[in-house]
Amino acid sequence: MRVFDRISLSLEFVIRECTEHDLPQLEWLGSLSSHRAFMRRQFTRHLRGVNVMLVADLAGYPVGQVWVDLEQWADSGGALIWALRVIDPLRNFGLGTKLLAAAEGVAEDAGRLFVELGVEKANERGRALYERLGYVAVGEELCEEDYVAPDGRIVRQVFDQAVLRKSLGGEIPTRA
């Protein structure tokens, strides 16, 4: 392959709360369009303050996201971190780590004592990242999600996950 030039760029990302304007862009050029209705439902929860949606914004385009469910584990003092994604070309530059730290901050600001997340068992790199950042395994979980595909079919997606927790100060509670 012939190389014509090299360019080095310095990019600034802003991690902020998701807005309604972001929702179509979070479909990432159609790769997540089948999740449109699901994302809309989660955005409604975001507006109620029970599922905080954060995005990593690059020049007005959300290139990463993470969601913090403050409702699911509220009775035990925790928060669930989920939907952590970074658009493919920008992976492995630390953006996911920054999004995760921001999500932990949201949980801490909400008075949570710990955060929990699931990582697919086959995702060894993801699990290694989480463990490096202080998460410890507390269980396993088989999750099923249904969504409506663009052609109208209902599709069930199954996730075989390891469940990891991180303390936000104090001991990590056992999983009930």
Domain ranges of the chain: 14-167
pLDDT tens digits for range 110-129: 999 999 999 999 999 999 99
Q: Are 40 and 23 in contact (CB under 8 A)?
A: yes
Q: CA of 12: how far to CAs of 15, 43, 57, 60, 155, in Å?
A: 10, 25, 9, 11, 37
Closest CA to 63 of 16, 103, 117: 16
Q: Enter the pTM of the model.
A: 0.87
Angstrom distance (rounded) from CA 145 to CA 158? 7
Q: Above 60 in pLDDT, residue 176?
A: no
Which fold does the domain 14-167 belong to in CATH? Aminopeptidase (3.40.630)
Q: Give the pLDDT of residue 175.
A: 64
Backbone angles phi, psi at 118, to 5 degrees: -115, 140
